[in-house]
Chains A and B, each alone.
Chain A
Amino acid sequence: EAQVTQNPRYLITVTGKKLTVTCSQNMNHEYMSWYRQDPGLGLRQIYYSMNVEVTDKGDVPEGYKVSRKEKRNFPLILESPSPNQTSLYFCASSPAGTHEQYFGPGTRLTVT
């Protein structure tokens, strides 16, 4: 089944403890991105990747890192999480030539 998967789905952590949220897609899509979803703000793009080893900042990149060593994986790294990063995070992928994005199930992160 063609899909985007994320792990973990739920995570509660403490301020400053490094964490990684994994994202994987099996559709051979070139483009992948991370969003955060907050009430009243909709979805905002954190980082995106146009292909392997090509990443760039989205609208709200502060406090996040990403890497794209393989086409299928695009992990999101929070080196020192803070409470304002408590949010619902979505990974998405997209084939070349289209803006249509396929979303993962989401990761609900709580930083205390």
Chain B
Amino acid sequence: GAVVSQHPSRVICKSGTSVKIECRSLDFQATTMFWYRQFPKQSLMLMATSNEGSKATYEQGVEKDKFLINHASLTLSTLTVTSAHPEDSSFYICSARDGGQRGAAFFGQGTRLTVV
């Protein structure tokens, strides 16, 4: 299958600071990537759709000014959590669809964010 790499895998930051998470498609181009949030033992909740060269589309209830998304190239999307607070602590996962894999979406390793 296609490979999606997410970095960092773990990050601890102080309250009020910003954190950037990168999502790269390593062996295919992705015009669209997706960012999910997952709480322990729960399902994945779609936060936003990242579109290469245009603005991201956010799901209802997700603050676009807090979760900044940039998709500057066909292989890289970034999620920046701005002015992080302890309630932003969570597991963030990105995914991208590989058109050559019959429509399947592939996931990065995830990032565990802890805000202290």
- Is A bound to B? no
Interface residues of A, Cβ cutoff 8 Å to B: none
